[in-house]
Chains A and B, each alone.
Chain A
Amino acid sequence: MTKFIRRAQETGKELAFEAARQALDSCNMRIQDIESVALGTAPDAFDGVHMKGEYLLDGAGAWRKPYSRNFVGGGTGVFSPIHGWFHVASGLYDTCLVVAEEKMSSCLPHPQAAFLTIFDNMIERPLGPNLIWIFALEMQRYMHRYNIPKEQIAQVAVKNKRNALDHPSAQIAKAVTLQDVLDSEVLAWPVQRLDISPVSDGACAVVLASEDVARRITDSPVWLDGVGWNLDTTYWTNRDLYFPRYVANAARMAYRMAGISNPRKQIDFAEPYDPFDYKELHHMEGLLLCRKGEAPKLTAEGVTARDGKLPICPSGGLLGVGNPIAAAGLMKVCELFWQLRGEAGKRQVAGDPRTAVAQAWGDLMQIGTVVVMRA
């Protein structure tokens, strides 16, 4: 993966190339060894390029190869390996290069404006909805439902920003205190500046291979054992915002495929999607890693710390490493790969983890994408 930064000098193509190159080098493969390429990248509006997938094609190494792009908003990053998995698990190809790229800095003055166009143009767009205030509503609902104090939610930001200090690609890693988060600027109550992940540029890539080929490439492959995705209603007004049903459905699909009947016991660590701090808690519950409303307590007790019993976002997550939409989701999958191979360096979680789950969330805030990986 490339570094995640606010404004990369590189073009989107170059970011995609850099990540693809690193992924191939890490397993001593050449682009000629790759049979198909799956690209994940979020709205065209960010890069200001129509049919962005086509534009990024040569950077992603797809020249004269079967190449397709997937896009499910914020869920894209974790959907990309699922999309690549189709290529391999269908038996059509033996190797697939999965690349996720995002260059949000091209969208001036701020990519928030691009989000205004995602809402229903008759019912919702006239209200001028802004993502931050929609999430403020959801956060408020979640806090109200379980009577959660803001301090417990802010703990997530503190933990993830600190975890990211050990991540070489991190954009906003910082040793912040709980008070720093609570004192940061209020954007739309209860959302404050340090509750939110930043705007970022970056790219990630992974190589997928069929079982036999993977064993030839490496002695210690990491297996994609479960995939799941699910969509809830498009209208956020028609969902109960306190619980992400779509994530729970996606998780059940992935767990069933991976033969996981008791995720709380069988999952060693997790990388849930954390563009906002409360979303990590929300998604932990969606991933069935704890009871509903229990995630804030576990965080306060340190269970989800990197040295805790159930490490959550040991990478530093979007809150610490950064949030180049599609690339951020794939960053979580990369983290699973490194942790499961014991290659995460200072970020390594204890106890030789064998099974882990990564998740992202997106589209019109109603898709959950989940992968379960095993060493």
Chain B
Amino acid sequence: MYSLTTAYMQILTGLFDIVAVEAHSKVSDIVNISPIYDLALDPIYTRPLGLNANFIAGLEMNRYLHSSGATFQDCRRVVEKNRKNALSNELAVRSATFESKSDGADSISYPLTRNDVAPLADGAAVVVLAADDAARSLREDPVWVKGVGWASDSPTLETRDWDKATYAELASKQAYRQAKIHDPAREIQFAEVDDTYSYKELQHTEALGLTTQSSAHKMLDQGVFDLSGKLPVNPSGGSIGMGHTLEMSGLVRVVELVKQLRGNADKHQVHDVQTGVALAWRGVPTASGAVVVLGNR
């Protein structure tokens, strides 16, 4: 998604009228991804501790569940929702059925279970951005970039917020300011947010201001985030349903936003949408993310 924000800036400078944005994942070439994640940790302070990425996510999940009051079952519900949504998305890789022990006995890093982790996938996405006039001449139904934002919290595990996704909060504030959105929960009809891990979807939904702090799991229980709900989150199935394409995931979220806003989302179409928001996260161990607000009028 950073690539999209860069292209957006390039157009705003007036240098270009049309910019293509490409992102891809060929994660299947990676024999063992875990040591690569390890190399992203500070070589002096944290790498020697041998912290696996899923272990760090498990820690954060535990902290999130503790502070928000959400439960292991709520996270499971996120997985169920996203896999179900993905069934109607022809680009998705996963089926809806899965087995999980409800007591968390199958956790890979308590309370994180294998089902909470989005499965890795290959893919490529391209988005074409155009300046105002160029966009109108290219298509009758352009989707407009209303606002973009990106931000980073502390890169070290020891000095960052663990309760909430501060980077997403800062990034969304920027994007909403540009998009003149004052009350995101009312003005935004649907969202595509990073769900590399199931709890991340809840945490990110709160950070985007789509619901108040620690309330995402309650809204989820009420079905608000379902495909047929009042504020569908990841109608595409998200990374958990579609497959996690690493750095490309953010652009996939944007593509799904565009499909919805054009009414081209087929079986997973959300009805009557004008404004959507997408959020990307750079993954463990970072605290960096980007937000894009798109609209169709």
Binding site for B on A (CB under 8 A): 11, 44, 48-51, 54-58, 62-68, 83, 85-87, 89-92, 227, 257
Residue contacts A-B, CB under 8 angstroms, 26 given: A48-B43, A49-B40, A49-B43, A50-B36, A50-B37, A50-B39, A51-B282, A55-B42, A55-B155, A57-B288, A58-B155, A62-B152, A64-B151, A64-B152, A65-B151, A66-B150, A66-B152, A83-B6, A86-B6, A89-B12, A90-B8, A90-B9, A91-B12, A92-B12, A92-B178, A257-B15
Given A49-B40, A50-B37, 6 additional A-B pairs, CB 8 A: A51-B282, A55-B155, A57-B155, A58-B156, A87-B9, A90-B9
B174 interfacial by beta-carbon distance below 8 Å: yes
Asked if residues B151 and A48 are in contact (CB atoms below 8 Å), the reply is no
Contacting A at CB under 8 A, from B20-44, are 36-37, 39-40, 42-44
Q: State A51–B286 Cα separation when bound (angstroms).
A: 9
Q: What are the residues of chain A within 8 A of B150 when measuring CB–CB?
A: 66-68
Asked if residues B154 and A58 are in contact (CB atoms below 8 Å), the reply is yes
Q: Chain B: interface secondary structure? A: mixed
Q: Which of B15, B40, B151 lies in contact with A54, CB distance below 8 A? A: B40
B153 interfacial by beta-carbon distance below 8 Å: yes
Q: Which of B14, B40, B149 lies in contact with A55, CB distance below 8 A? A: B40
Known A-B contacts A58-B155, A62-B152, A68-B150; A89 and B13 likewise in contact (beta carbons under 8 Å): yes
B191 CB, nearest partner CB in chain A, Å: 21
Q: What are the residues of chain A within 8 A of B152 when measuring CB–CB?
A: 54, 57, 62-67
Task: Determine which residue in B10, B171, B178 has the highest number of CB atoms from chain A within 10 A of its CB, and name it.
Answer: B10
Nearest B residue to A83 via CB reads: B6
Asked if residues A54 and B288 are in contact (CB atoms below 8 Å), the reply is yes
Q: State A66–B5 Cα separation when bound (angstroms).
A: 11
B2 interfacial by beta-carbon distance below 8 Å: yes
A59 CB, nearest partner CB in chain B, Å: 9
Asked if residues B10 and A86 are in contact (CB atoms below 8 Å), the reply is yes
Binding site for A on B (CB under 8 A): 2, 5-6, 8-10, 12-15, 36-37, 39-40, 42-44, 149-156, 166, 170-171, 174, 178, 282, 285-286, 288
B17 CB, nearest partner CB in chain A, Å: 14
Q: What are the residues of chain A within 8 A of B42 when measuring CB–CB?
A: 55
Asked if residues B6 and A68 are in contact (CB atoms below 8 Å), the reply is yes
Q: State A90–B9 Cα separation when bound (angstroms).
A: 5
Q: What are the residues of chain B within 8 A of A57 when measuring CB–CB?
A: 152, 154-155, 288
Q: State A51–B170 Cα separation when bound (angstroms).
A: 21
Which 5 pairs across A and B sit closest by C-beta, in order of nearness? Answer: A90-B12, A50-B39, A90-B9, A86-B9, A50-B40
Q: What are the residues of chain B within 8 A of A87 when measuring CB–CB?
A: 9
Asked if residues A64 and B153 are in contact (CB atoms below 8 Å), the reply is yes
Q: What are the residues of chain A within 8 A of B10 when measuring CB–CB?
A: 86, 90
Task: Determine which residue in B6, B10, B155, B156 has the highest number of CB atoms from chain A within 10 A of its CB, and name it.
Answer: B155
Q: What are the residues of chain B within 8 A of A83 when measuring CB–CB?
A: 6
A264 CB, nearest partner CB in chain B, Å: 25
Nearest A residue to B152 via CB reads: A67
Q: State A285–B174 Cα separation when bound (angstroms).
A: 44
Q: What are the residues of chain A within 8 A of B166 when measuring CB–CB?
A: 64
Nearest A residue to B35 via CB reads: A50
Q: State A58–B158 Cα separation when bound (angstroms).
A: 13
Q: What are the residues of chain B within 8 A of A51 when measuring CB–CB?
A: 40, 282, 286
Q: State A55–B174 Cα separation when bound (angstroms).
A: 23
Q: State A333–B40 Cα separation when bound (angstroms).
A: 30
Q: What are the residues of chain B within 8 A of A64 when measuring CB–CB?
A: 151-153, 166, 170
